[in-house]
């Protein structure tokens, strides 16, 4: 795990000055605690800091206070002008209190983890709470988000979040924003059996610290929070997808995590529709079943509103007459006003815009690294799969929230190519291109062995040149950097064997053939885009003839020759008997279509003895 320092120079300065305000009504132990924190940070390594900080405060009897994410207005919002005036006015009345000043003892990190533990407050992070609600159906997955799983008298906790795919520790204290009356302002726990659970508050605070403030996490996409809390790849399925039910039903059987977004005209949950659904709101899908009814087989979805309370009122709602004792027993139905409800798949398609499926596997292995890559460069990663199996290769951009909502920051187009190392050769396994997405992944079912993964990013932003590369597999993984000279990788992958296997053959003369391969457009097997690579190979299988050939491109719109021919619009070869030659062309702008027809000029002459 790495250590993420979220504070920039400005926030560090404000943190330092805020401590006087924060501690002015506190005793000397609090001030001493802050001094001890600074000493630990200066004297220990990243690996040991979190444990050392906690131990230092426990030994001294002090409470930990996080100077990187201080208990003051700087952690509520960086740019207050972005808020509506009424919200500004209310938020500026918030104060910060320790957890034991807000809720009664006993207090635990976990007691009995449940989706019902979540109560949304005055922050529009329904996407994040929906994610927590969906993950909480599997309590062990929530527990994996915490290094600190017991109540800490020192007030020091560590939550685990994947930053650009790399698992990262976020140390947080137990100060939380409160209303004027002392009640919790943002997400809160349900206090049952007299026990207060902290896990929702701590994860929300860690998420806010990651992006600099609570306001920075207002509104978002569940695909991002699911990926960052589990490490697993996420798939967005449009409501019009003909295979939507098949994908949802299969995902349910595999214990994948699913969320869905409702349609509407307003912001996150501002309006409640006549059927009990909140517009533009994030929900969790917790079950998908087919049941036999008098009307035939019906496809039903069990859905949860992270707000609780507000539920669907149409067919298959809690008060619906369609429920029979047999169906209730089969589906474990209970009439509770807890935000959980059933609805038909047909109604779901009418009121929701799509589904996000998080392909989490509790027994999969994970490796990741951060990478800096300048414009025009590429990276190659070496991946060893000890046993082989289902494997995902993922590239993750820096989240746009890290740049304070800068309109100039965009996710950049990229290309991924996966090749298997076979002796001294490279065999293409798969490739993908994507544009303007935070996360891009490609799934392969692979045998054991060594693989090389090529990543090229056409940066459209100058805010960063860093991204994360990660591998998620049923096989044990070893991940490292690999070094290749320019053009070597692609020219070795897109070779004569591959051209003859999948290319379009154009005879030139007897025993002489031109093979052309276009790996572009949508892949019918995956529904994703090919890597945008064009290559051709000329094969001279004669024994006594030499082929002099020139391949000309009639149009070079959005495509360029790669390697030694870069910058040209044609290439020439003299191909002796039994030889072959070729060239690789790359799609320049992955967001645009391309047409690269070629013409051939040839001259055939006898080979000299």
Q: Give the 3-state secondary structure of residue 594.
A: coil
* Residues 189, 112 share a domain: yes
Apex 595 CA angle, 528 and 564, nearest 5: 95
Query: Number of structural domains, the chain?
Result: 4
Catalytic residue among 57, 178, 252, 281: 281
Catalytic residue among 34, 126, 302, 540: 126
438 vs 588: CA distance, rounded Å? 20
Choose the final residue of a domain: 185, 209, 230.
Answer: 230
DSSP assignments along 58-111, one per residue: HHHTPPP--SSS-SSHHHH-S-GGGS-HHHHHHHTT-EEEEHHHHSPSPEES-S
The answer to the question of residue 480 being in a domain is yes
> Which residue in the block uniquely carries the two structure tokens 């400005």?
10
* Residues 453, 314 share a domain: no
* Residues 17, 153 share a domain: yes
* Residues 385, 334 share a domain: no
The answer to the question of residue 84 being in a domain is yes
Residue 126 is among the residues annotated as catalytic for this protein:
yes
Range of the domain at 350: 234-358
Buried b / exposed e along 476-494 (16+ C-beta atoms within 10 A): ebebeebeeeeeebbbbbb
The answer to the question of residue 490 being in a domain is no
What pLDDT is recorded for position 37? 42
The residues, any chain, with a CB within 8 Å of residue 265's CB and separated by 6 or more, are 271, 279, 280
Nearest to 600 by CA among 534, 511, 519, 508: 508
Q: Give the 3-state secondary structure of residue 476.
A: coil
Catalytic residue among 111, 305, 495, 580: 305
Residue 361 is among the residues annotated as catalytic for this protein:
no
The answer to the question of residue 431 being in a domain is yes
The residues, any chain, with a CB within 8 Å of residue 484's CB and separated by 6 or more, are 380
605 vs 609: CA distance, rounded Å? 12
The answer to the question of residue 105 being in a domain is yes
416 vs 532: CA distance, rounded Å? 10
* Residues 307, 330 share a domain: yes
In whole angstroms, how large is the CA radius of gyration of the chain? 29
* Residues 112, 14 share a domain: yes
The answer to the question of residue 138 being in a domain is yes
* Residues 463, 537 share a domain: no
The answer to the question of residue 193 being in a domain is yes
451 CB-side CA count, 13 A: 29
CATH number at residue 257: 3.90.70.10
Residue 281 is among the residues annotated as catalytic for this protein:
yes
* Residues 590, 571 share a domain: yes
Choose the final residue of a domain: 485, 511, 535.
Answer: 485
286 vs 236: CA distance, rounded Å? 16
* Residues 457, 550 share a domain: no
The length of the chain is: 609
* Residues 453, 565 share a domain: no
Nearest to 304 by CA among 328, 287, 323, 279: 287
CATH number at residue 591: 2.60.40
CATH number at residue 441: 2.60.120.380
What pLDDT is recorded for position 367? 98
> Which residue in the block uniquely carries the two structure tokens 């726990």?
189
Inter-residue contact 465 to 368 (CB < 8 Å): no
Q: Which residue stretches of the chain have pLDDT < 50?
A: 1-45, 47, 266-270
Residue 166 CB coordination number (10 Å):
20
* Residues 45, 103 share a domain: yes
What pLDDT is recorded for position 45? 36
The answer to the question of residue 380 being in a domain is yes
CA distances from 71 to 21, 105, 210, 334, 464 (A): 10, 22, 15, 41, 29
* Residues 66, 117 share a domain: yes
Choose the final residue of a domain: 195, 230, 265.
Answer: 230
**Kind of pairing between the strands at 2-3 and 166-172:** parallel
What pLDDT is recorded for position 47? 47
135 vs 519: CA distance, rounded Å? 37
């Amino acid at each position: 795990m790495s250590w993420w320092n979220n504070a920039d120079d400005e926030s560090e300065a404000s943190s330092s000055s805020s401590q006087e305000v924060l501690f002015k009504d506190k005793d000397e132990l609090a001030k001493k605690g802050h001094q001890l924190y600074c000493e630990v940070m200066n004297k220990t390594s990243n690996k040991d800091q979190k444990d050392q900080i906690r131990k230092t405060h426990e030994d001294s009897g002090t409470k930990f206070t996080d100077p990187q994410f201080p208990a003051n207005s700087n952690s509520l919002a960086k740019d207050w002008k972005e808020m509506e005036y009424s919200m500004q006015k209310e938020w500026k009345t918030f104060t910060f209190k320790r957890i034991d000043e807000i809720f009664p003892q006993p207090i635990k990190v976990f007691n009995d983890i449940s989706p019902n533990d979540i109560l949304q407050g005055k922050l529009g992070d329904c996407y994040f709470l929906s994610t927590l609600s969906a993950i909480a159906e599997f309590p062990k997955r929530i527990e994996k988000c915490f290094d600190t799983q017991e109540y800490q008298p020192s007030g020091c906790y560590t939550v685990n979040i994947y930053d650009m795919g790399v698992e990262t520790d976020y140390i947080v204290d137990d100060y939380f924003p409160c209303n004027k009356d002392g009640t919790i302002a943002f997400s809160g726990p349900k206090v049952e059996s007299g026990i207060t659970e902290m896990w929702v508050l701590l994860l929300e605070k860690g998420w806010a610290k990651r992006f600099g403030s609570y306001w920075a996490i207002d509104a978002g996409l569940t695909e991002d929070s699911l990926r960052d809390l589990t490490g697993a790849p996420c798939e967005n399925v449009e409501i019009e997808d003909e295979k939507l039910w098949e994908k949802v039903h299969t995902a349910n059987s595999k214990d994948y995590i699913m969320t869905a977004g409702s349609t509407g005209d307003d912001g996150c949950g501002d309006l409640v529709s006549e059927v009990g659904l909140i517009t533009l709101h994030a929900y969790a899908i917790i079950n998908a079943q087919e049941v036999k009814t008098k009307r035939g087989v019906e496809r039903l979805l069990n859905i949860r509103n992270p707000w609780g309370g507000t539920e669907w009122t149409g067919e298959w709602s809690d008060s619906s007459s369609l429920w029979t004792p047999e169906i209730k027993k089969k589906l474990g139905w209970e009439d509770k006003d807890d935000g959980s409800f059933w609805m038909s798949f047909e109604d779901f398609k009418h009121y929701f815009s799509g589904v996000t499926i998080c392909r989490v596997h509790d027994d999969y292995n994970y490796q990741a690294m951060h990478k800096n890559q300048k414009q025009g460069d590429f990276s190659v990663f070496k991946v060893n799969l000890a046993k082989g199996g289902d494997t995902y290769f993922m590239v993750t951009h820096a989240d746009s929230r890290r740049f304070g909502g800068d309109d100039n920051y965009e996710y950049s187009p990229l290309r991924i190519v996966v090749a298997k190392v076979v002796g001294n050769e490279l065999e293409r396994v798969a490739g993908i291109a994507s544009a303007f997405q935070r996360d891009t992944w490609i799934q392969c079912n692979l045998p054991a062995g060594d693989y090389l993964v090529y990543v090229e990013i056409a940066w459209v932003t100058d805010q960063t040149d860093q991204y994360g590369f990660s591998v998620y597999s049923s096989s044990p993984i070893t991940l490292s950097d690999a070094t290749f000279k320019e053009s070597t990788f692609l020219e070795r992958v897109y070779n004569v064997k591959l051209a003859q296997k999948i290319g379009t053959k154009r005879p030139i003369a007897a025993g002489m053939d031109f093979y052309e391969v276009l790996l572009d457009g949508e892949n019918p097997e995956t529904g994703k885009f090919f890597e945008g690579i064009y290559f051709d190979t000329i094969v001279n299988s004669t024994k006594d003839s030499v082929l002099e050939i020139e391949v000309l491109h009639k149009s070079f719109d959005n495509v360029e020759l790669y390697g030694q021919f870069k910058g040209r619009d044609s290439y020439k070869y003299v191909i002796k008997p039994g030889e072959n030659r070729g060239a690789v062309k790359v799609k320049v702008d992955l967001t645009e279509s391309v047409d690269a027809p070629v013409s051939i000029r040839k001259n055939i002459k006898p080979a000299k003895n």
